[in-house]
Structure formats: structure tokens, C-alpha cells
Homo-oligomer: A and B are copies of this chain.
Amino acid sequence: MAEGILLIISGPSGVGKGTVCRRLLEIRKELEVSVSSTTRPPRPGEIEGREYIFTDRDSFEAMINKGAFLEWAVVHGYYYGTRRMVVEEALSHGEDLILEIDVQGAAQVRMKMPEAVSVFLAPPSIKILEKRIDGRGTEDAQRIKDRLVTARREMKVYHRYDYVVVNNTVEKAASLINSIIDVEKCKVSRGARPPDTGGDS
């Protein structure tokens, strides 16, 4: 069986990663989402192993020290991270995984798994990105300013990715990322070969 593909979907804050990923998962049913580990307690309705792998703080920190995470971060006082073993097991079973992640996390994963395929989701323009961030209307002025500064900084790292996909429409962006997976599977450098020339495909 061919190894699955780990697809990193990243990009600046506000670009619409979540929406594009949800659409992609509808288009490509067999795609799986990488499940993160967290020390945050489960919320009602959340199921262990589906939303998150729930982990206590000591275990999480021990795993950090053992290098068990492809990436991890602290958000609002809780740890969140992606365990290398969880990802590698899925890939070895031929599953394709997407990892929707901010640019800092993406940098960690790319370093530790250079065979991952990385997509930088870009806005049609910086102006449109700024409008999206500003227009949510749920945050105070200082927080919006911070997010704008962050987003502009995050735009500068696109060149570290394999692909740039512009989020002109959710449908087009999701469909193009779907094509990226199809096309990566045809790459000879990834082991693609004619059907009956040996091998186990």
C-alpha cells in the first residue's frame, strides 16, 4: 500500500483556512483530519480521539521533552500539539491527512516532516485580508490592530511552502488543493509507477 500524504494547510490569520478545509473534506471524503492532543478539558459533546486526544499536563510535557510532537503551542494556558506517532501511523495505513495550522506550527512540521506537502493559502490581496480581519466586528480595536500586524508578518513566509493557493473563492481554493493531492499521488518521486511494473500498488 502506498504511504498517505500529509498536507499542511496554513496561511495568515483570517485567510479562511477553516472554511476551505471544511469544503475540501466534503469534496474528498476519504481525507482525514489530523487529530491534535490537548490539555484543555473536553467540552460537552467532544469525543476523545475525534475532536482531540485529551491528555494531562504532565504527560503532555513529558512528550514534549521526548520530542513526540511535530508541533505544539500554548493557547490560553492550554497545550495543543500534533503527535508524530499519530500522524505516522495514519500515513503508514495509506490515509491522507490534512493539518490546518498557523504559520508557526507549519514551520515546525515542515522541519520535522520534509515529505509533507505544504500549502500556503493566500488572500486575493492584503486589502481583502485586512477587511476580513477588521470586519468580524467581534473584537476591540487593539486586538484588531494586533491581528493585522500578525497577518502582514505571516504573509511574508509564503516562499517556505511548496504551493501557494489563492483563496479567491472557497470552492476554487478547495478544488485546487484537492487537485494538489491527486497530482502529488502521480509523482514518481513519491513512488508512483505504472500499475503492474512490480511494487505493491
Residues on A facing B (Cβ under 8 Å):
120, 122-126, 155-156, 158-166, 176, 179-180, 182-183, 186-189, 192-197
Contacts and interface: CB of A to CB of B under 8 A. Distances in A.
Contact of A186 (B125, B156, B164, B188): B164
**Copy number in this complex?**
2
Contacts of A197: 126, 155-156, 158
Closest 3 CB pairs of A and B: A122-B194, A179-B179, A163-B186
A176 B166 contact: no
Contact of A194 (B155, B180, B189): B155
A187 B118 CA distance: 10
A164 B196 CA distance: 13
B162 A188 contact: yes
Contacts of A163: 183, 186-188, 192
B195 A124 contact: yes
Contacts of A165: 186
A162 B180 contact: no
B179 A164 contact: no
B125 A196 contact: yes
Among A161, A165, A196, chain B packs the most CB atoms within 10 A around the CB of: A196
A194 B158 contact: yes
A192 B121 CA distance: 12
6 contacts: A126-B196, A158-B193, A160-B188, A162-B189, A164-B193, A180-B183
